[in-house]
Amino acid sequence: MATILIIEDDKRLAEIIQRGLGDNAYKTHIAYDGRMGLKLALANDYDLIVSDIVLPEMNGLELCRKIRASKPAIPILMLTALGTTDDKVEGFDAGADDYLIKPFEFRELLARIRALLKRAGNASMMQNPVLKYHDLEINIHNKTARRGDLAIKLTPKEFKLLEYLLSNTERVLSRSEIAEKVWDTHFDTGTNFIDVYINYLRKKIDKPFQTKLIHTRAGMGFILEKEQA
């Protein structure tokens, strides 16, 4: 679950963004001025920051520069009513990764956030291609998987499913989310292909071991977490 810091002095807009992101499984914190936004940004490990430019206490451009000086890798999306080319250039020069002009549709904001998080995740994987949980690990680069001392042979689709589970450990993933993220399709309740692939993974990942990692949450979906059998 990605954690996003929202820095916006319009409390109604901040709460709308927070509610919408929460509905899409993001965890959020809100700061209503630039100084508090900077304090939170430096004190916590956020996956992304959404910030207005016109803020009390400290404007968004100065805020962006200060955050970027301490945390150069964190994605920053600027929100503003200032839409000229010069305004955009100034925002990018301050260190923003993207720029969204008010008023905007929430689905566009969500698309920008997803793109920035994906880009940041890809960059992180290029630096460290190994995803690991408990004694299970996969290497994104060479597409290998192992649990403890046991090498596990996976089909391409099994590997992609396991990669998504390892990227979202200890979080319940619905069948519809898995269908969208792993199969790029909408889940058809009349089919059980996701359950079939989960069972394939269980036979390879869990069956030889006492500690089971892939669990079903009845009526909700699946979760990768450490539990004793």
Round to whole Å and give the CA distance between 111 and 77. Answer: 12
pLDDT for the residue numbered 188: 60
Q: Which residues of the chain are in CATH 3.40.50.2300 domains? A: 3-125
pLDDT for 191: 66
Q: What percentage of residues in the chain have a pLDDT greater than 90? A: 53
Question: In the chain, which residues fall in CATH 1.10.10.10?
Answer: 130-228
Other beta carbons less than 10 A from residue 141's beta carbon: 10
The length of the chain in residues reads 229
Higher pLDDT, 31 or 189: 31
Q: Are 62 and 19 in contact (CB under 8 A)?
A: no
DSSP structure class, residue 149? T
Mean pLDDT of the chain: 87
pLDDT digits (tens, 9 = 90+) for 17-68: 999 999 988 999 999 999 999 999 999 989 999 999 989 999 989 999 999 8
Give the CATH architecture of domain 3-125. 3-Layer(aba) Sandwich (3.40)
CATH 1.10.10.10, applies to 130-228: yes
pTM of the model: 0.56
